[in-house]
Structures are given as structure tokens and as C-alpha cells.
Amino acid sequence: MTKTFAYIDVIGVKKTLADKNKSKELLERFWTTMDTFTNNRQDSPYCKAVDTGNLVVPDVYCSVFSDSALIDVEPDIEINDFYKKILKSLKICLDKAELPFYCIVSSGDYIGQAISPKLGGWNMGSGHGARPLWNPIAGSGDAWIQIFEADTAIKKHKAWHEKYSLYALGNESLLDGLSQEEIKIGADANQIKLHACSWPV
């Protein structure tokens, strides 16, 4: 199967760690913004599903890791709609919250985890916070693995830091007309283009 992810990383959190109040405020602002984006969406646009071509209103899922977040949708939608109807709305939320960030889009082969494995699936904890004991955030495959390789490359490629906040991994993740610059990442036999992009209008 194929899957499209957007990986969001907030810029500047490490610089605030010496001041716990600043760090806490920045992270809580990020977490609240992502919560609002996924759970209190004012717009629910119709998008074209990849598998069927039908118009659907996709569910938007967000997994937050401290100052980073992973966005995906169900069902998977065409890349044009992912950029213009999901990411564009997310950027508006993050900009409104005055959160500097960058975003990596990755679309490709994906091996998903079982939602409910044999040992219990969504069983809840025993009252110590009532968290699900099993939370399949992501599986494997190029769409998932290459995100972190791209993130490392972006951190090293300092010439891009003040110019771009949107990146796309490979042509499958790219919307026509957005690529401004590119580099190749990965081992020689499995190199992929990392595109630095302008945001869609």
C-alpha cells in the first residue's frame, strides 16, 4: 500500500531549555495547536481518495513527539489535496500560533501495523491515565523510514534554514511547481531527491 505523511518539527525549542517556563510555554502552544487542528477542525474539505478516486472527507491523525508531530490521513488522498487542503490549513494554524517550523512530506510504499494485534489491541490501561496499551503510530516502508533521513539532511544543510520550511521526499511526494532546490540523500543504490519547496498558494 502507499501512504503520505507530513512530519512537523518546531524550530527553537532547544534554545529555550535553559528557561523551563519558556520551554513549557512553547511546547504547550504547539501541543494545543496540533490538538485544535485535528480535533476542532472548522473546515472538513472533500478530497479525492487515492484507491477509489471517490470524494471523501478524510480523518486527520496526529501523533506528537515533544516538539515534533506526524500527520497522516485516512483514507489516503491525492497529493494535490494533501498539500492544498490539509497542509495549507495546518500552516495557517501554526503561523497563527507564531510557531516557527518546517515540514517534510513523504509519500510512498508503506507497511502498516495491525490496528488490533492478537494480544489485545486497544485495551486500556488499568486506571493509571487510561491510555491504550497498544498505539500503532506507524509501520515501516519508504514513506516512513526516509522521513528521518531527510530530517538529518535538512539539519545539516544550513543554506536552506532561512529560506525554506517545506520539503518533499522524491517526486511521488512533490506537487508540481513547488520545488526550488534539491539535493540527493541516501546510499548510492537507493538515493532519493530531497526537494526544498515553496508553499502552495
Contact 141, 3 (CB under 8 A): yes
pLDDT in tens, 123-137: 666 666 677 777 777
Residue 28: inside a domain: yes
Asked if residue 88 has pLDDT above 70, the reply is yes
Instruction: Supply the pLDDT for residue 121.
Output: 59
Residue 124: inside a domain: no
Instruction: Supply the pLDDT for residue 145.
Output: 81
Please compute the mean of the pLDDT values over residues 63-80 and round it to a whole number. 93
Residue 117: inside a domain: no
Contact 150, 169 (CB under 8 A): yes
Instruction: Supply the pLDDT for residue 48.
Output: 95
Asked if residue 117 has pLDDT above 80, the reply is no
Instruction: Read off the pLDDT band of 2 (50, 70, 90).
Output: confident
Residue 78: inside a domain: yes
Q: How far is residue 129's CA from residue 109's CA, in Å, rounded to a whole number? A: 35
Residue 119: inside a domain: no
Q: Is 52 exposed, middle or buried (0-12, 13-18, 19+ CB in 10 A)?
A: exposed
Q: What is the mean pLDDT of the chain?
A: 87
CATH code for position 57: 3.30.70.1230
Instruction: Read off the pLDDT band of 101 (50, 70, 90).
Output: very high
Asked if residue 140 has pLDDT above 90, the reply is no
pLDDT in tens, 26-71: 999 999 999 999 887 766 789 999 989 999 999 999 999 999 999 9
Residue 192: inside a domain: yes
110 SS3 class: coil
Contact 12, 77 (CB under 8 A): no
Give the range of the structural domain holding residue 6, as residue numbers without chain letter.
Answer: 2-112+133-197
Query: What total of structural domains would you count in the chain?
Result: 1
